[in-house]
Chain A
Amino acid sequence: MTHAYPTKVLYIDMTKKSYRSVERPELFAQYLGGTGAAIKLLEEHCPAGIDPYAPEAPLIFSVGPLTGLFPLASKTVAMFKSPLTGNLGESHAGGRAAQAIRMAGYGAIVITGASELPVYVAIHGATVHFRDATSIWGMKSLFTAGSIIRGGEPGAGVRSIIRIGRGGENKVAFGSATTETYRHFGRLGMGAVMGSKKIKAFVISGERSIPVEDKKKYRDLYDQIFKAAVESPVMKKYHDLGTAGNVMTMQKLKAMPTRNLQSGSFEHAEAISGESLASKYLGRRLACAHCPVGCIHIAAVREPYENEPYFYKTTMVGYDWELIYALGSMLGIGDPDGMFLLIDEVEKVGVDSMSAGVCLAWATEAQEKGVITEKETMELKLAWGDWKTYIKAMEHLVNQPNDFYKALAKGSAHAASVYGGADYALAFGGNEMPGYPTGPASYLGFLLGTRHSHLDNAGYSLDQNAIKSGKAMTPPQIVDELMKEEFWRQILTSLCVCLFARGIYTPEVVRESLAVAGYTFTDAEILALGRSIYRDKYAFKLKHGFSFDTIAKPGRIFEAVAPTGPFDRTFIDEGLAHAKKKIGELIAE
C-alpha cells in the first residue's frame, strides 16, 4: 500500500556547512511526525548535561503526515534544549513553515553545529545553500532582514522564512523566531538557539505531490474536515475577533492578569478588548497555509510625525490575547496605540511576548518595592502604563548593557534569584506564565505541562468547568485530567494539527485521516502512542534536571483572587506529589 507520510530527515551541520538527507520511514511510521518524531530525534542528539548553546546541541523541526494533505495540519514543531528552562524546549509555529518543509520533501530537519560567521540557510527542495548573513546581523528590525532575504530567494508564495532578530542574536533566553512576519516559534528560546549557531534565518521552499492510495476516501474526508472547519462556530470566533475576544471574557471572570497579577480586573479592559480593537484598528486578517480560518489579526496603527502635520506612518501590528495580556494589562497599559507600539518593538527585536511582558512586569514591581533601583534600570523609572519607558527597557533587555539587564534577559525567575522578589516573578518551571490565571487547575497545568504552556493541557478549562458547575476538583483529580488531556494532545501535535482545531480532529477523524495517509492504527493504539510520547518527553525533562520537588510556585498565585475561589500551597503541593507518583509509574512501565 502507498503511504502518504513523510520519510526523509534532513541533517544539517552548521560547523562543516554540510548536509545529508536520510530515509527514515520507521520514524514517521511509528511516531507520526511533529512532537512524536521530534522527541525521538532529540533523544538521539541531545545528551544530558549539554549546554543549550553548545554547538552540538540540536535544533529540530518536524512536520506531520497530514501536513499538505488535509486542512489545519499547519503547525511545525521545533524541539531543542531550552535556554530558559534548561530542559525540554518545544515550540510550535504556524505560517507556511510546515507546508514548506513537507513540500521540500522532508518530515524533519535536524540542525547541529555552529557557524563561525552569521549565515542564513536556504533549503530549496533537495538543495541546501549556506548564504552569508553578516550584513543583516544586528539589524534593528527583523522585518527588514526578512524583506531583504525575500528579495533574493526563489519560491515566492510557497516558501517560509524563519528569522531571528537581535533578541535571538544576543541570546536573550526567550529569544524567538518569526515566520511569515506574524507567526512565531515564540516560547522557550528557539531564537536564542538559532543565534548561538549564528543562523539568522531559514528559507524553505518546495512543491511536491503527496500520492494517496484511496483517492475517493481522501476527497470525501477532506470535504468533511473542510466543511466542519468553515461551519464551526468555534472557528468563526477565531476568525471574527480572534483570541482577543478573551479580553472581556477574562475581565468578567475577574481573571484579567493586571499589573503583574496584582489584580484580576483591569479598568481599561474595554479599550483593549477584541471588540474595540476590531472596530478601530483591524486592518487585515491572515491565515496559515491550508487553514480556512484566518485567525491572525493585524491592526493598522497610524502614528503622526510630531513636527510634520498631515504626515503619518502606518504600521501593521499583529495582535491576539497573549500579546494584549502580556504587553497590555499585565503592564497596566490601557492605551491601545501605546500597547501596539510596544508590541511592535517586541516583534522587531524578536523575543517571546509573554516572557517579555512578564519580565517587565516583575521589574516594575521590583522597582516599586525598592528591590531594584534606577541604578539597575539605567535611569529608567518603570511605571504601570508608561509604554514609552517600556520600549526603552526592551532595548536595554535586548542589548544587555549592564548586569541587571543581562540577568533579566535570562528570564524573570533568574533575575529574581539574583535580586529578590521571587514571589512575584510569575514564571513556572522558568517559563513566564501565559494569560490564564483562572485557578489551581490552570497553575497545576503550567507547572506540569511538558512545555509549561497553557496549551499543553488546558487547565483553565477545568477551572472554568469548576466555576460553572460549582464543583471543585481535588488535586489528584485535576492532575489525572491534565495528564489525560496532554496524552491526547501529543497525538494532535504529532499530526501537527492546530490546537484551535482540536474539536474538528476528533478521535474518529484522526483515525480516518491516518488511514488515508496509509496507517493502520486502532483507536487504542493511537491513545497508547499519545501516552508514550508524553512519557518520552517527561523522561527527557527529568534527565535534563526537571524536578517536581524544587519547581518554584510564586507566592503571588496564592494571594491573587482566583475566580475558582481561594486555594493554598498545600493544594498545589498535593497535586505535584500525585503527578510525581503517576509520572514516575509511567516512566517505569
Chain B
Amino acid sequence: MKLKVIDAQRCVGCQLCMFACSRRSGIGGLSNSCIGVKSAGGMSKGFTVIVCRSCKNPPCARACPVDALEVRPEGGVRLKAERCIGCGACRNACILKAVFWNNETQKPLICVQCGICAKYCPHGVLELRKDTGKEEVRS
C-alpha cells in the first residue's frame, strides 16, 4: 500500500493527519509525525502536504552510514532504530523533506505507509492506495 496526496488544494491546514500519525503510539502531541503540512508561503496561498514517496531506490537508505534503513521490496524503507546513531544523514538526503525528525529521541521518523493519516483527513486530501508495483507519476 502506498500513501498518496490526491488533492492538496482541498487541504485546510488542520493538521489532523499529523496528529493522527503522532498518535499511532497512543500518545498526544506532534513529536512523532511522519507527515508534514506547511503553508505554501503564507496561509493565503494554501498548503503543501509532504509525504514519503517510498522511493524504489531511496536516497535516505543510501546515505545512512550504519545501514539502519532497510529498503523494502515494494519501495520505501524501514528504520532499524537499534542501529540508528541519529546522525541525520537520511534527513539531509531526502530532497522532499519527507524524513521527519523526533527531537525527543533524536532519531528519524520514517513513514510506514499505514494510512492512518488518510483515515483522519476529513477533506479528501490523502489516500492509501494499493501498490501497483510501478513507479507512478505522483503529486
**Residue in chain B with minimal CB distance to A218:** B26
Task: Determine the chain A residues whose CB is within 8 A of the CB of B38 once the complex forms.
Answer: 156-157
Residues in B with CB closer than 8 Å to A219 are: 23, 26
Residue pair B42, A181 in contact (C-beta under 8 Å): yes
The reply on B22 being an interface residue by CB < 8 A is yes
Residues of B within 8 A of A285 (CB): 12
Which parts of A208-225 form the interface with B (CB within 8 Å)? 208-212, 215-216, 218-219, 222
> What count of chain A residues pass the 8 Å CB interface test?
46
Q: Is B28 an interface residue (CB 8 A)?
A: yes
Interface of B, helix, strand, loop or mixed by DSSP:
loop
CA A156 – CA B97 in complex, angstroms?
A: 12
User: Does any Cβ of A come within 8 Å of B75's Cβ?
Assistant: no
CB contact under 8 A between A157 and B42, given known A208-B30, A209-B104, A288-B14: no
Question: In the bound complex, do residue A290 and residue B26 qualify as a contact, i.e. CB atoms below 8 Å apart?
Answer: no
Closest residue of A by beta carbon distance from B101 = A207
B29–A207 CB distance below 8 A: yes
Binds B, one of A16-24, A291-299, A497-505, A548-556: A291-299
B132 at the interface (CB under 8 A from A): no
Closest approach, in angstroms, between the C-beta of A436 and any C-beta of chain B? 27
Is A341 engaged at the interface, CB distance under 8 Å to the other chain? no
Most buried by A among B14, B22, B41, B46: B14
Given A157-B37, A286-B12: A209 and B32 within 8 A (CB)?
A: yes
Of the residues A147, A182, A218, contact of B28 by C-beta under 8 Å: A218
Does A71 lie at the interface of the complex (its beta carbon under 8 Å from any beta carbon of B)?
A: yes
For residue A4, CB closer than 8 A to chain B, the reply is yes
A481 within 8 A of B: no
A286, B13: Cβ atoms under 8 Å? yes
Interface string of A97-119 (1 = CB under 8 A from B): 00100110000000000000000
Partner of B30, one of A99, A181, A230: A99
By the criterion CB–CB under 8 Å, are A215 and B27 in contact? yes
A290 touches B36 (CB 8 A): no
Please provide the chain A residues from 393 to 440 with a CB less than 8 Å away from any CB of chain B in the complex. none
Chain A residue nearest to B44 in the complex (CB): A316
Contact flag A212-B42 (CB < 8 Å), given A289-B15, A290-B15, A290-B16: no
Please give me the residue from chain A that is nearest to B9 by CB atom.
A284
Contacts A157-B37, A209-B27, A222-B23; is A146 near B42 (CB within 8 Å)? yes
Chain B residue numbers with a CB within 8 Å of A69 are 28-29
- B65 interfacial by beta-carbon distance below 8 Å: no
Residues of chain B within 8 A (CB-CB) of A68 are: 19, 28-30
Given the complex of chains A and B, what is the CA–CA distance between A210 and B19 in angstroms?
A: 11
A128 within 8 A of B: no
Q: Please name the residue on chain B nearest to A516 by beta carbon.
A: B28
Q: Are B14 and A290 in contact (CB under 8 A)?
A: yes
Tell me the complex Cα distance, A211–B36, Å.
21
Answer whether residue A129 sits at the interface, using C-beta atoms and an 8 A cutoff: no
- The listed residue with most B CB atoms (<10 A of its CB), out of A99, A207, A222, A285, is A207
Q: Closest CB of chain A to B3's CB: distance in Å? A: 18
**Interface pair A287/B104, CB less than 8 Å apart:** no
Known: A219-B26, A230-B122, A286-B43. A209 touches B14 (CB 8 A): no
Tell me the bound Cα distance from A102 to B104 in angstroms.
15
Cβ-defined contact, B27 with A210, below 8 A: yes
Knowing A146-B42, A209-B104, A219-B23 touch, does A4 contact B12 (C-beta < 8 A)?
A: no
User: By the criterion CB–CB under 8 Å, are B27 and A211 in contact?
Assistant: yes
B72 to chain A, nearest CB (A): 26
Can you list 29 A-B contacts (CB < 8 A)?
A68-B29, A69-B28, A69-B29, A71-B16, A99-B30, A102-B29, A103-B29, A103-B30, A125-B103, A157-B37, A181-B43, A207-B31, A208-B29, A208-B30, A208-B31, A209-B22, A209-B29, A210-B29, A215-B26, A222-B23, A287-B12, A287-B14, A289-B13, A290-B14, A290-B15, A290-B16, A290-B19, A294-B122, A298-B44
Q: Which 7 A-B pairs have the closest CB atoms?
A: A215-B26, A210-B28, A294-B12, A287-B14, A316-B44, A69-B28, A157-B38
- A residues adjacent to B (C-beta < 8 A): 4, 68-71, 99, 102-103, 125, 143, 146-147, 150, 156-158, 180-182, 207-212, 215-216, 218-219, 222, 226, 230, 284-294, 296, 298, 316
User: Interface residues, chain B, CB within 8 Å of chain A?
Assistant: 12-16, 19, 22-23, 26-33, 36-39, 41-46, 103-104, 120, 122-123
9 further A-B contacts with Cβ under 8 Å, apart from A157-B36, A208-B29, A294-B14, are A4-B28, A71-B19, A102-B29, A181-B42, A210-B27, A226-B16, A290-B14, A290-B19, A292-B14
